[in-house]
Amino acid sequence: MSRLTKSYVKGVKVSERHGAGEWVQERLSSLILVPLTLWGLWSGWMMSGAGYDGALEWFRSPVNATLLAVTLLVSLWHMNMGLKVIVDDYIHKPASRTALLTVIGLLCVVIAAAGVFFIVRLALGSAPLPAGFGA
């Protein structure tokens, strides 16, 4: 029996020989997030009690702004991959799975774009939003 036609052995699904790349990407994003999380915790500790002006000064540092943007993007990448695994495992209707993965992907892109936009605004010394916009 060829490998292509044998998809179950004793009622257990046999590996289809794909997914290793996604597995490596998940582990890589986790490894990247470890030092970024430690940096974030350290930064929060150092900023505690600094007030609004201290926080703005922290954002104006190019290193801090860049690391924060990288942390946001890698976190969203990691989240997207994790949610994809959950959807693939538990949503069995192809149309529902495709729709849900599309919504998750678009949501991640929107959050990434908005997050980087606000980080850049703060890094350049602008207010996060114009006066009177929002609350």
d(CA 27, CA 31): 6
Q: For position 20, what pLDDT does the model report?
A: 76
pTM of the model: 0.79
Segments of the chain scoring below 70 in pLDDT: 1-6, 11-19, 127-135
Residue 56's pLDDT is 87
- Residues 6 or more apart in contact with residue 58 via CB below 8 angstroms: 43, 47, 50, 64
Joined together, the tokens standing for residue 62 give: 């190019």
Task: Look at residue 106 in the predicted model and tell me its pLDDT.
Answer: 98
DSSP result, the chain:
--TTT--EETTEEPP-S--HHHHHHHHHHHHHHHHHHHHHHHHHHHHTT-HHHHHHHHHHSHHHHHHHHHHHHHHHHHHHHHHHHHHHHH---HHHHHHHHHHHHHHHHHHHHHHHHHHHHHHTT--SS-TTS--
| pLDDT tens track for 37-76 | 999 999 999 999 888 889 889 989 999 999 999 999 999 9
At the top level of CATH, which class does the domain 21-123 belong to?
mainly alpha
Q: What is the pLDDT of residue 17?
A: 64
